[in-house]
Chains A and B, each alone.
Chain A
Amino acid sequence: MALPLAYPLRSLVHRRLRTGLTVAVVALVVIATTLFLALVSSLRRTLVSTGSPENLIVLRKGSDNDGSSQLPLEAYQTLRFVDGIAKNGEGEPLVSPELVVQPFFFRPDGGRENVLVRGVESVSLAVHDEVKIVEGRMVEPSQGEAVLGRGVALRYANRGIGSEMKFGRRTWKVVGILESGGSSFESEVWVDARDLAADAKRPIPYSGMRVKVAPGADRDALIRRIGDDPRWALEAKPETEYYAKQAESANTLYGLVVGLAVLAGIGAVFGATNTMYASVQARIAEIGTLRALGFSRASVLIAFLVESVALAALGLVVGVLVAWPLGLAVSKALGGIGFGAATFSTNVITLRVGPFDVVVAAALAAAIGLAGGLAPAWRASHLRPVEALRKG
């Protein structure tokens, strides 16, 4: 028969200081790792969620990103009629030619950073169906207007709809805000392609294009058709693949953070083990009594394991309850957290602790509770009643 749950739980309450300190240790580890994990997984999620599986991104061969490629006008005009490309209701091909430039944006706090500005045509919204204008409206051609991604809007909070923003060589008028389900388009600013080409003095008005694959068409065949065309050295690949590649550097970062979390976790295990050993030591007479009364070794083992898991669980709860608002407060105070030091454009992340992060934290806490409690619980259960009673 097992010892009642009340036994380990009440024993925790009995030694408030020791319990409190250990819960604090676990909670701090949980907060630190949750914040860090949330940060990096927010970044990953942003990068990975970008792109539609139905879209292809066409860039110059050998170019690894939007901003460093060039797309000849003729190539666009010819390729948009290739077989396999989706068309809209009026028979127009769903091909969005775009120009990507990364000018400086000057932050309210005085810093500056590269932001990805995408020069687009009106067809762009039909091709990027995850992008939606949620406030205001889309830009009109040649009006010097700009639509801000949600992340940019938050970061440059003093620039709402109707205000002016200076970037590149001129000022632009903000007419709308776009959202894209949290993907990296929200870290971009969209303007009219011709306006951008004029401002950035690009002789070739487009850097690349996005192509929507016709439903039911053979995507790989289309990719080949575009890539094999001898007139231009272009390369098409699925949007999701393109962004997934960018996410790889974030994956390394995630690995780093997980490694650090493991390190912290092991430290916490030592801390928890320490506490549990002391707990066992202080209750040797008690344990001897229980064994003398007839409670089995297993029941004593489980009771002490429950105690250490309960400690860790408490730490988890406190940790998550603190980490969640803390993350939001920090990213609000900082205007979002930027990444992409060496990629020439900033991805803005909000530190949101997601359900997956909590799951990871819970796993960590469970490991701490079990690993930390195992050795002491084993010791407690294998105490010979005689010795235990003698020592007591």
Chain B
Amino acid sequence: MIELRNVSRYYQRGADEVHALEHVSLEIPAGRFVALMGPSGSGKSTLLNILAGLDRPSEGQVSVAGRKLADLSEDELAAFRAAHMGFVFQFFNLIPVFSARENVELPLLLTHLKKAERRARADTALRIVGLSERAGHMPSELSGGEQQRTAIARAIVTDPEIVVGDEPTGDLDAKNAEEVLGLLRTLKQEFGKTVVIVTHDPRAERYVDEVFLLDKGVFMGSRPGGAAGAAPAAPAHGAAGAHP
């Protein structure tokens, strides 16, 4: 589903040139639940942004769902994201002036569906995350866990193939964190979605199929996650001899 080949990302910070990613190559097959982990500054967020089409690499190629992202213009990328991806962020990023239901409906505005249809789908998504009774509330009236679940509902309402999350449990307490991770697992298990999250929450390991490790912008390889279960032990993906 997602393929990176020799992807590097450099950018200027003041007078220095920062190497956020160095020649990263990896593959994420469809239907996998993957965690990108590594110390602070390892480039995992940058990697996530690139595979989600939010950022462009300085070097290398990115393919998602069979499309080469380099071939798409800004506006085409936007449309691509709308069609194929769902996003979950650390700080929930709900629009404060919209209710939970309206927030969930938001991605559907980019489609041609009629109001009744949009309503129906939003309600379905909310049911999946267990927030049907709170649908009419404003974000300020929801707890942290409820807000993140709303965000997940928004992420799946268009039924995208891929769900991407940047520290989805970062701002939650233990109970809510486990709930969210469980939900994300369900997305892979029951709906066959490809889920990629960036996290340094150690609890996440138990829920994912595979953990990709990054350090100082370099891909260090992967290991199976706690939920790999029946899946065969995944061979180490990516360039094993990554240079320092």
Do A and B touch each other in the complex, judged by CB within 8 A?
yes
A294 touches B54 (CB 8 A): no
Query: Chain A 357-392, CB within 8 Å of chain B: the 1/0 string?
Result: 000000000000000000000000000111001001
A389 touches B96 (CB 8 A): no
Instruction: Report the Cα distance A289→B75, complex, angstroms.
Output: 15
A289 touches B107 (CB 8 A): no
A294 touches B110 (CB 8 A): yes
Instruction: Report the Cα distance A285→B166, complex, angstroms.
Output: 14
What distance in Å separates the Cβ of B4 from its nearest Cβ neighbour in chain A? 17
What distance in Å separates the Cβ of A243 from its nearest Cβ neighbour in chain B? 56
Residues from chain A with a CB closer than 8 A to the CB of B93 are: 285-286, 288-289, 389, 392
Q: Does A293 sit at the interface, judged by CB under 8 A?
A: yes
- Interface residue count on the B side (C-beta < 8 Å): 28
A293 touches B97 (CB 8 A): no
Residues from chain A with a CB closer than 8 A to the CB of B82 are: 293-295
Partner of A386, one of B54, B74, B107, B109: B54
Count of A-B contacts judged by CB separation below 8 Å: 71
Q: Does A4 sit at the interface, judged by CB under 8 A?
A: yes
When A285-B91, A386-B55 are in contact, do A296 and B97 touch as well, CB less than 8 Å?
Answer: no
Residues from chain A with a CB closer than 8 A to the CB of B89 are: 289, 389
A4 touches B95 (CB 8 A): no
Question: In the complex, which residue of chain A has the Cβ closest to the Cβ of B109?
Answer: A1
Instruction: Report the Cα distance A4→B91, complex, angstroms.
Output: 23
The winner among B52, B87, B154 for most chain A CB atoms within 10 A is B87
What distance in Å separates the Cβ of A38 from its nearest Cβ neighbour in chain B? 37
Query: Chain A 269-296, CB within 8 Å of chain B: the 1/0 string?
Result: 0000000000000000110111111111
Residues from chain B with a CB closer than 8 A to the CB of A296 are: 75, 78-79
Q: Does A150 sit at the interface, judged by CB under 8 A?
A: no
Instruction: Report the Cα distance A385→B95, complex, angstroms.
Output: 15
A7 touches B97 (CB 8 A): yes
Give the residues from 42 to 80 in chain B that come closer than 8 angstroms, CB to CB, to chain A.
49, 52, 54-55, 74-75, 78-80
B96 touches A3 (CB 8 A): no
- Interface residue count on the A side (C-beta < 8 Å): 27
B87 touches A292 (CB 8 A): yes
Q: Does A201 sit at the interface, judged by CB under 8 A?
A: no
B87 touches A297 (CB 8 A): no
Give the residues from 286 to 325 in chain A that come closer than 8 angstroms, CB to CB, to chain B.
286, 288-297
Instruction: Report the Cα distance A327→B165, complex, angstroms.
Output: 60
A297 touches B55 (CB 8 A): no
Give the residues from 1 to 27 in chain A that come closer than 8 angstroms, CB to CB, to chain B.
1-4, 6-7, 10-11, 13-14
A295 touches B54 (CB 8 A): no
Instruction: Report the Cα distance A2→B110, complex, angstroms.
Output: 8
Residues from chain A with a CB closer than 8 A to the CB of B110 are: 1, 293-295
What distance in Å separates the Cβ of A30 from its nearest Cβ neighbour in chain B? 27
Residues from chain A with a CB closer than 8 A to the CB of B143 are: none
What distance in Å separates the Cβ of B69 from its nearest Cβ neighbour in chain A? 14
Query: Chain B 84-114, CB within 8 Å of chain A: the 1/0 string?
Result: 0001010101011110001000110111000
What distance in Å separates the Cβ of A181 from its nearest Cβ neighbour in chain B? 51
Residues from chain A with a CB closer than 8 A to the CB of B79 are: 294, 296
Residues from chain B with a CB closer than 8 A to the CB of A14 are: 96-97
Residues from chain B with a CB closer than 8 A to the CB of A4 are: 109
Instruction: Report the Cα distance A386→B111, complex, angstroms.
Output: 23
Query: Chain B 213-240, CB within 8 Å of chain A: the 1/0 string?
Result: 0000000000000000000000000000
Q: Does B81 sit at the interface, judged by CB under 8 A?
A: yes
Partner of A293, one of B55, B91, B107, B166: B107
What distance in Å separates the Cβ of B38 from its nearest Cβ neighbour in chain A? 17
Residues from chain A with a CB closer than 8 A to the CB of B49 are: 386
Q: Which residues in B have some Cβ–Cβ distance to A below 8 Å?
A: 49, 52, 54-55, 74-75, 78-83, 87, 89, 91, 93, 95-98, 102, 106-107, 109-111, 154, 166
Q: What 7 pairs across the A-B complex have the smallest Cβ distances?
A: A294-B82, A10-B97, A289-B93, A294-B81, A1-B110, A386-B55, A294-B78
Instruction: Return 21 A-B CB contacts under 8 Å, by A number.
Output: A1-B109, A1-B110, A4-B109, A6-B98, A6-B102, A7-B95, A7-B98, A285-B93, A286-B96, A288-B93, A290-B95, A292-B81, A294-B79, A294-B80, A295-B82, A296-B79, A297-B75, A389-B89, A389-B166, A392-B91, A392-B93
Please name 15 further chain A to chain B contacts, defined as beta carbons within 8 Å, in addition to the given A14-B96, A386-B49, sorted by A numbering: A7-B95, A7-B97, A11-B97, A286-B96, A289-B87, A290-B106, A291-B78, A293-B87, A293-B154, A294-B78, A294-B110, A297-B78, A385-B54, A386-B54, A389-B89
